Structure 1
Amino acid sequence: MTMWGTIATWRMAHDGVVDASRQLAAGGTAGDAVEALIKRVEAYEYYKSVGYGGLPNEEGEVEMDAAFMDGDTFAQGAVAGIHNVLHAVSVARALSHEHYNSFRVGAGATKYAQLQGFEMVNMLTPRAKKLWQQRLAAMRASDLSPYDGHDTVGAVTLAGNGSMATATSTSGLFMKKAGRVGDSPLSGSGFYVDSAVGGAAATGLGEDLMKGCLSYEIVRQMAAGKTPQEAADQAVYSFAETLQARYGKCGEFSLVAMNNRGEWGVATNVEFTFSVATADAAPQILIAHPAADHQTRIEPITQEWLDAYERRIKAPID
């Protein structure tokens, strides 16, 4: 049987994983599948940390970061601080075809998207604006930290012909300073893939994730012979401990990985959901828990959890 697979961060990626799995099962390319997966998340207004409906920076502007990488050629494209583009991942993929100027930021990235005919929309939805206004009011009323939420959608795909790809997309840290960029568009930190080995993608606090280049580290360890699960556990837990000891603090880390045989792994230092599908297993949502023995514990999600999740993300905002 032809082997294919895809894995992506968070429950929000599941519908995209279903779309990608159908494409891959039908012989689609890894690049097309990972782009379709990310676009499904970007377009859904109830996901507060990615794309349309994503939460804004402190000035009320939605600044998005995204990246795409081809595991066959190592071609990469990325955008950071892009505005008013429905599918930042598609802009990143288009840039991956450029040898020069393949990582564009701010006004330059937005202008490129406009000139290339990408769909432009106001990415600040009424719902997201209300959440932003509530956070401003809460900050004025108390000593509440402005920062909340940094859930990137990151995915890896393996096509039946052995090609692999990875992509990420995020609106970044809620209430971030204008121009702030996290790990998501940075090669080796937010993502990395090599079709001869495998790929990885990250989500969590970008300022700390980029200190360890964990996506590349997982791929490096897989190349040295570790399974995706062994590589993920080793990279995440060891660096989290090192960072805590030497920097004095460590944010949230969660990474997903898949090798070129369709085997996958996940490691995290917080409770973390993800979605995965392979030629051997239908798309499923799983939940990962950090473990004291540095071996991530993974179990199926419950219907009760799923129902509570749907209620939470769609709850009315006063």
Structure 2
Amino acid sequence: MTWATIATWRMAYEGMQKASEILAADGSAGDAVEKLINEVEAYPYYKSVGYGGLPNEEGVVEMDAAFMDGDTLAQGSVAGIQNVMHAVSVARSLSSEHYNSFRVGAGATKYASLHGFEMTNMLTDRAKARWQKRLRETQENNLNPYNGHDTVGAITLSNKGSMAAATSTSGLFMKKSGRVGDSPLSGSGFYVDSEIGGAAATGLGEDIMKGCMSYEIVRRMADGQSPQAACDEAVYPFIEKLKKRYGKAGEFSLVALNNQGEWGIATNVEFTFCVATDQQAPKIMIAYPDANQTTRIEPITKEWLDAYEKRIKEPI
């Protein structure tokens, strides 16, 4: 058998290294995807996920996360959870519940506390400073306050042929209290079936959920399309449909992996992602929308990586 994993954004790279070690040692797809996302959640310089994630307009960090087991189709989700270091681990725990497996707000936070998950103030000084700066800019210059909605989403395939998918995000920066995007919603932010493959999304959730994009990609793979063809033919026509019928479309980026270890990408923005297989060490790639509703994929450059590291750690 083969193992493989794919995840959104450069921020998944260190977690993918850990996930790859688990998969290479015949570990489970669920353990690997949870570990991958835990690494992102704990790193304070990633401002769109977990600890150090950017807050809503009231200065509160509300996180959304999901986990899905591709063997059983069991799912768990949380939305608007607060003060929990690893929202995705709470979602995975909830996936074992037949009832009440999607919990929100105070109910989700209470579940995490009662079940021994690590609790902490997720609003770091750096994130608070960024929030205060955005408040001033919005008030002084009448700017659109919304900025930053990069979800970490990942799919894993184990040597035993099992698959899992998971997502985690602090959501749209300066969002209204209680806003939930696509990330914890089955079929929109994520979907996986070990007999077929999986997909995960990042971007503007309000628009991604209009097309149930993750499920649509998996459906197309079930019909025999490769992950790349499924991504291209699901995402780009829907973006055009949305522009025509809704009047606009936000950012869309989706990753897909089938149960043979083949992967695909579609995006309407510059989009980095990470991928690893039993034949390929973890690597960072960059994708762009190309002509004729296709995707152009290139290796990342050292200059891009250097600029990225400088940008995420620059003073507020």
Report the counterpart of residue 247 of structure 2 in structure 1: 248
What is the aligned-residue RMSD (CA, Å)? Answer: 0.4
Secondary structure of the residue aligned to 2:294 is coil
What is the TM-score when the length of structure 1 is the normalising length? Answer: 0.99
Q: Which amino acid is the alignment partner of residue 255 of structure 2?
A: V
Instruction: Return 5+ residue gaps in structure 1 as ranges.
Output: none
Alpha-carbon deviation of 1:237?
Answer: 0.2
Report the counterpart of residue 138 of structure 1 in structure 2: 137
Secondary structure of the residue aligned to 2:290 is coil
Alpha-carbon deviation of 1:71?
Answer: 0.2
Alpha-carbon deviation of 1:214?
Answer: 0.3
Q: After TM superposition, what 4+ stretches of structure 1 lie above 6 angstroms from structure 2?
A: none
Secondary structure of the residue aligned to 1:288 is strand
| Alpha-carbon displacement from aligned partner over 1:249-292 (angstroms, at most 9, x marks no partner) | 00000000000000000000111000000011111000000012
Report the counterpart of residue 105 of structure 1 in structure 2: 104
Q: Pairwise mapping of residues 1-318 of structure 1 onto structure 2 (< 5 A)?
A: 2-317=1-316
| Alpha-carbon displacement from aligned partner over 1:44-103 (angstroms, at most 9, x marks no partner) | 000000000000000000000000000000000000000000000000000000000000
For 2:170 and 2:271, the matched residues in 1 are separated by 19
Secondary structure of the residue aligned to 1:186 is coil
For 1:19 and 1:221, the matched residues in 2 are separated by 30
For 2:232 and 2:280, the matched residues in 1 are separated by 22
Q: Which amino acid is the alignment partner of residue 240 of structure 1?
A: I
Alpha-carbon deviation of 1:316?
Answer: 1.3
For 2:191 and 2:177, the matched residues in 1 are separated by 26
For 2:52 and 2:148, the matched residues in 1 are separated by 13
Alpha-carbon deviation of 1:143?
Answer: 1.5
Instruction: Return 5+ residue gaps in structure 2 as ranges.
Output: none
Identity percentage over the alignment? 75
| Alpha-carbon displacement from aligned partner over 1:206-237 (angstroms, at most 9, x marks no partner) | 00000000000000000000000000001110
Q: Which amino acid is the alignment partner of residue 293 of structure 2?
A: H
For 2:238 and 2:161, the matched residues in 1 are separated by 30
What is the TM-score when the length of structure 2 is the normalising length? Answer: 1.00
